[in-house]
């Protein structure tokens, strides 16, 4: 099989014209209690990626996640047999680079959308929260970009369907649309993908960074559900139908996004075969259904649950539109991150105690 070419350098800029107007609110004393409580939590839970993450943890670029090879799209095909051990390492590196690159570009989209919400949403309580979210997303961009540069050693450009979805959501002049596209769809799916990787990777560094990012995302999802549910209660049937259509189209776009066929093409697999492999791979199918099962309950919750939307999700989730129990999942996300911290600090505490013991022993008078 042909040796893969490194992906083109990710550089330059991309400009999307803004459609929405900036809105000031003079109602300084007002605010919904639940949103203000979430804002307080956003402030309380700020953290520094330089300090909280141990960046010295080693990562092997040819097996950055330590996930089973069965999870790779070429596994089990004749192409896999033709790859030698070295090429297989390169494939693992490219697949992880592609995946984390899409996370990275998505996080930048989330940062820009959160900043847009600060500008355009009418309520000051939502502006406050979105300001903390903007900072959270900046930290996520910082983390994924550092992981790609320092640990995996390559990045892929933004995938076409992700770019289209970002373009559509940011151009829209209605303030809720970037939020719906970015927070509910793109981040909802990203969160499900983070969770699957966090729970399957055998490498401590990616597990930690995914767990910490997910802990922040749980707040963002809670905010999206509250702010959009309130807003959608006041919309007309026609306005709701526009949002529902957007959700269905966005989900189909995202379904295409999950293929990552450019990586396979890069390894010499013809485009048609790459698409077929991505489509027929059983594990990828399970992965895709898991992603949509995390979005479905959120969409239902905010009130966009017409028969058309339900039918779309039935197709995407293989008939099971009930989806996951979001509240339970988010509580769990928070606990996993806290448990990782507790374990790390306990280990540091033990190391410190051992160091002190050693100092005491060295300093002790041998004649006593
Ligand atoms: Fe994020
Ligand atoms: Fe987020």
CA–CA gap between residue 264 and residue 1 (Å, rounded): 11
Give every residue of the chain whose pLDDT is below 70, as ranges: 1-2, 256-258, 319-324, 365-368
**What spacing in Å lies between the alpha carbon of 95 and ligand 2's midpoint?**
23
| CA of 212, nearest ligand number | 1
359 CA from centroid of ligand 1 (Å):
43
User: Looking at the domain assignment, is residue 2 inside a domain?
Assistant: no
Cα 289 to Cα 321: distance, rounded to the nearest angstrom: 10
CATH of residue 286 = 1.10.620.20
C-alpha to C-alpha distances, 194 to 15, 22, 198, 256, 278, nearest whole angstrom: 28, 33, 6, 18, 19
> 111 C-alpha vs ligand 2 centroid, how far in Å?
8
What is the full DSSP assignment across 248-285? Answer: HHHHHHHHHHTT-HHHHHHTT--HHHHHHHHHH-HHHH
| Ligand 1 midpoint to CA 140 (Å) | 5
Ligand nearest, relative to CA of residue 194: 1
Quick check: 257 and 163 in contact, CB under 8 A? Answer: no
Q: Which letter, b or e, does each residue of 121-145 get, where b requires 16 or more Cβ atoms within 10 Å of its Cβ?
A: bebbbbbbbbbbbbebbbbbbebbb
Whole-number Å distance, alpha carbon 107 to ligand 1 midpoint, is: 5
Handedness of CA 300, 160, 134, 137 (dihedral sign): positive
Q: How far is the CA of 337 from the centre of ligand 1 (A)?
A: 15
Residue 298 CA to residue 317 CA, distance in Å, equals 14
| 111 within some domain | yes
Q: What is the pLDDT of residue 105?
A: 94
- Find the ligand nearest to 114 CA: 2
Does residue 27 form part of some domain? no
Task: Give the residue among 162, 166, 149 at the shortest CA–CA distance from 97.
Answer: 149
What is the domain extent for residue 267?
A: 40-363
Phi, psi dihedral angles at 294 (to 5 degrees) = -90, -25
Tokens describing residue 180: 């719906």
Residue 14 lies in a domain: no
Residue position matching structure tokens 């379904």: 255
d(CA 20, CA 118): 12
Per the structure, how many domains does the chain have?
1
CA of 226 to the centre of ligand 1 (A): 18
Give 314-317 contacts, CB < 8 A, sequence gap 24+.
316/251, 316/255, 316/288, 316/289, 316/292, 317/289, 317/292, 317/293
pLDDT computed for residue 153 by the predictor: 94
Hey, what are 58's tokens?
A: 């080693």
Asked if residue 32 belongs to a domain, the reply is no
**281 within a domain of the structure (yes/no):** yes
Within-domain flag for 343: yes
- pLDDT of amino acid 358: 78
Q: Is residue 280 one of the residues assigned to a domain?
A: yes
| Euclidean distance between CA atoms 165 and 273, whole angstroms | 26
In sequence order, what are the residues at sequence separation of 6 or more whose Cβ sits closer than 8 angstroms to the Cβ of residue 343?
Answer: none
Determine the distance separating the centroid of ligand 2 and the alpha carbon of 139, expressed in angstroms. Answer: 10
């Amino acid at each position: 099989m042909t040796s893969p070419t490194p992906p083109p350098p990710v550089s330059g800029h991309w400009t999307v014209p803004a459609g929405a107007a900036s809105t000031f609110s003079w109602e300084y004393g007002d605010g919904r209690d639940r949103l203000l409580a979430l804002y307080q939590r956003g402030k309380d839970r700020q953290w520094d990626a330089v300090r909280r993450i141990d960046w010295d943890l080693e990562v092997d670029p040819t097996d950055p996640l330590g996930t089973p090879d069965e999870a790779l799209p070429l596994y089990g095909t004749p192409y896999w047999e033709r790859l030698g051990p070295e090429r297989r390492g390169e494939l693992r590196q490219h697949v992880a680079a592609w995946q984390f690159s899409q996370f990275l570009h998505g996080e930048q989209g989330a940062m820009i959308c959160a900043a847009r919400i600060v500008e355009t949403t009418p309520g000051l309580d939502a502006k406050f929260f979105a300001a903390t979210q903007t900072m959270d997303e900046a930290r996520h961009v910082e983390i994924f970009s550092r992981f790609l540069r320092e640990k995996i050693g390559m990045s892929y450009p933004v995938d076409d369907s992700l770019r289209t979805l970002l373009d559509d959501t940011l151009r829209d002049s209605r303030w809720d649309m970037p939020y719906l596209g970015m927070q509910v769809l793109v981040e909802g799916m990203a969160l499900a993908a983070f969770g699957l990787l966090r729970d399957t990777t055998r490498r401590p560094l990616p597990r930690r960074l995914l767990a910490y990012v997910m802990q922040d995302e749980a707040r963002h999802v809670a905010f999206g559900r509250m702010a959009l549910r309130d807003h959608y209660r006041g919309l007309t049937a026609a306005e709701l139908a526009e949002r529902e259509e957007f959700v269905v189209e966005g989900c189909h776009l995202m379904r295409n996004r999950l293929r990552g066929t450019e990586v396979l093409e890069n390894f010499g697999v013809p485009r048609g075969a790459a698409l077929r492999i991505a489509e027929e791979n059983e594990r990828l199918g399970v992965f895709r259904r898991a992603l949509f099962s995390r979005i479905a309950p959120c969409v239902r919750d905010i009130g966009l649950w017409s028969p058309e939307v339900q039918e779309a999700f039935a197709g995407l989730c293989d008939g099971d539109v009930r989806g996951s129990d979001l509240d339970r999942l988010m509580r769990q996300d928070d606990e996993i991150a806290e448990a990782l911290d507790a374990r790390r600090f306990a280990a540091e505490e033990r190391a410190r105690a051992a160091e002190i013991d050693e100092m005491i022993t060295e300093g002790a008078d041998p004649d006593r």
